A and B are shown apart, each in its own frame.
Chain A
Amino acid sequence: MSSKTAVLKERIIKQVLTVFAFSSILFLFLIFAFILVEGLPLFYKAGVNSIIFGMKWAPTKGFFGIFPMIVSSFLVTFGALIIGAPLGLGCAVYLAEYAGKRQKMFLKPALELLAGIPSVVYGFLGVLYIVPFIRNFVGGSGFSLLATSIVLGVMILPTVISISYDALMSVPRSYREGALAMGSTKWQTTWRVVIPSGKSGILASCILGMGRAVGETMAVIMVAGNALKIPGSVLDPLRTLTSNIALELSYASGDHRMGLFSTGVVLLSIIMVLNYFANVVIRRKVIK
């Protein structure tokens, strides 16, 4: 091959790779464009307030209020965090600070496998075990904020564990050795030195866990009960933004379908805000 064709070949390859690299941006743009194009017109038509703060969702009758769903999405997300974060952080600390090498070899992949279990399976087991348990021992129908929070709490574990584990592992060894050399116990070192140093990563893991919870759909549909009102207690059923879309998309048309895309717009906005915060938190750590 002569060197001229070689140079030309290199140039073409670089062009092609550049196009490939921009495909992610293109896809992101397309996703936003189509969700917004389908979802925004209704905000004009029905009014931003009557959608975001509207209490009544009856799309075939012209009511597009999704306020209860926004509140419910936040409720299940915080519920998931309350259940998932302490457990996940405990696992991460144990893995990073206490587990021996061989224990880690077994624990780490096992914990990561939790992420592989499909969400429908979590939902299914939630319906068959957690919902009846709540119905029989706590009260209500069982399909509830509590059941949803438990299921989501388990589902965000892998996210919380793996990201906060990475954060803890990136704390320099010398910090630990310094503290241990001064006579601290393992736990004093962990609590006073390691965790504060890794706190931005830990925070990011919780934010990303929230992102996971707020976006989860199939498991939530199965255990939440999908009632169209703001739950009055943890035992009341509720419907999140995601389940609203998934429950009705297959048969919706016209304004009804647009209403689902408007729900999508709100969901997407929440997700972008969460991702933004996670990024800020992580970047702050890098700069420091």
Chain B
Amino acid sequence: MNVKIRTEKLTVRFGNNEALKGVDLDVCKNSITGFMGPAGSGKSTLISLINRMIDFEDGVRIEGGLSIDGEDILGTSVDVVGLRRRVGTVFAVPLPLPRSIFENIAYGPRLKGINKKSDLDDIVEESLKKAVLWSEVCDRLHVSALKLSGGQQQRLCLARTLALRPEIILLDEPCSGLDPISTAKIEEALNELKKDYTIILVSNNTKQIARACDFAAFFYMGTLVEFDQTEKIFTNPRVKQTEDYIQGKFG
């Protein structure tokens, strides 16, 4: 098994509140790993550690280790900006920048210093195709991104993340506000993308995890309750709590 992200006894506290309690987890390269669990279970906190967006929160204390390709990413000397270019994030609500579709996608590459029109054209086209959005917007790339529908906006955000050419893609409940058709399109895109990327998909929707993920992790109250191949988790969970959650008895 080819480990991309590894956590070791990872504990996070917000004040007196423990958001993560000693989590040990290995995320495999070129796979989709699903994080599930009820609200407040710590899955989103883990995501915000991997892209270091947790830096924007106050009063956080972190113990334990978190590494990508064996390199620690929690230290103060870590190049956070560089890290965020390696780890792309798609948020729960579609958040297009108030610019054109083209400029939204070119935003990341431009920051990296890519300014040549032809290079940007290529990146934009490639990213939109991978996010299964190209055919819908190819004739109006310079229209404001805010004019797109919710589902289109979310795929635009995925394309924008892909344009960074990251190694890891984090999706934090990306389909929570979307209709089934848009959700299916996102899942379709993810299935293609796992060949080249390591993907983590956070979702409240256990069915989506079952459909889309190779591995699944169940979190509850900050603890990693169970982590295994999706098939095993959904057919033969080791822990009673996991089974109850999957069957919709709580959460």
Touch A–B, Cβ below 8 Å: yes
Please give the residue numbers on chain A whose beta carbons come within 8 Å of chain B beta carbons, in ascending order: 1, 3, 6-7
**Interchain CB contact under 8 A, B113 and A3:** no
| Interface residue ranges, B against A (CB under 8 Å) | 79, 81-82, 113
Question: Which B-chain residue is minimally distant from A4 (CB atoms)?
Answer: B79
CB distance from A66 to the nearest CB of B (A): 52
Can you list 6 A-B contacts with CB-CB less than 8 angstroms, sorted by A residue number? A1-B113, A3-B79, A3-B81, A3-B82, A6-B81, A7-B79
B79: chain A residues within 8 A (beta carbon)? 3, 7
Cα distance A7–B76 when bound, in Å?
12
Q: Which residue of A lies closest to B78 (CB)?
A: A3
**Measured CA separation A1–B113 after assembly (Å):** 7
Q: Which 4 pairs show the lowest CB-CB distances between chains A and B?
A: A3-B79, A3-B82, A6-B81, A3-B81
In this complex, what residue of B is CB-closest to A3? B79
Residues of A within 8 A of B82 (CB): 3
Question: Which B residue sits closest to A6, measured CB to CB?
Answer: B81
A7 to B83, CA, bound (A): 13
Taking the closest CB of chain B, its distance from the CB of A10, in whole angstroms, is 9
Smallest Cβ distance from A191 to chain B, in angstroms?
Answer: 43
Set of chain B residues within 8 Å of A6, measured between Cβ atoms:
81
**Taking CB as reference atom, which chain A residue is nearest B79?**
A3
Q: Which residue of B lies closest to A1 (CB)?
A: B113
Residues from chain B with a CB closer than 8 A to the CB of A3 are 79, 81-82
Q: A1–B110 Cα gap in the complex (Å)?
A: 12
Q: Which residues of A contact B113 (CB under 8 A)?
A: 1
Within the complex, what minimum Cβ distance (angstroms) separates B112 from chain A? Answer: 9
Cα-based distance from A1 to B112 in the complex (angstroms): 8
Alpha-carbon gap, A3 to B85, bound state (A): 11
C-alpha spacing A7/B113, complex, angstroms:
16
Closest B residue, CB atoms, query A10: B81
**How far apart are A3's CB and chain B's nearest CB, in angstroms?**
4
B202 to chain A, nearest CB (A): 28
Q: Which residues of B contact A7 (CB under 8 A)?
A: 79
A229 CB to nearest chain B CB (Å):
61
Min CB gap B77→A, angstroms: 10
Residues of A within 8 A of B81 (CB): 3, 6
State the CA gap A1–B79 with chains docked (Å).
Answer: 13
| Minimum distance in angstroms from B51 CB to a CB of chain A | 16
A7 vs B81: C-alpha distance when bound (angstroms)? 9
A17 to chain B, nearest CB (A): 18
For the complex, what is the distance from the CA of A7 to the CA of B78, rounded to whole Å?
11
- Which residues of chain B have C-beta atoms less than 8 A from A1's C-beta? 113
Whole-angstrom distance between the alpha carbons of A67 and B79 in the complex? 65
Least distance between A1 CB and chain B CB atoms (Å): 6
CA distance A1 to B114 in the complex (A): 11
A135: min CB distance to chain B, Å: 60
Return B179 CB to nearest CB of chain A, in Å: 34
Chain A proximity of B91: nearest CB distance (Å): 24
Q: How far is the CA of A215 from the CA of B86 in the complex (A)?
A: 58
State in angstroms the CA–CA spacing of A1 and B82 once bound together. 11
CB distance from B196 to the nearest CB of A (A): 24
Q: Tell me the nearest residue of chain A to B111, going by C-beta.
A: A1
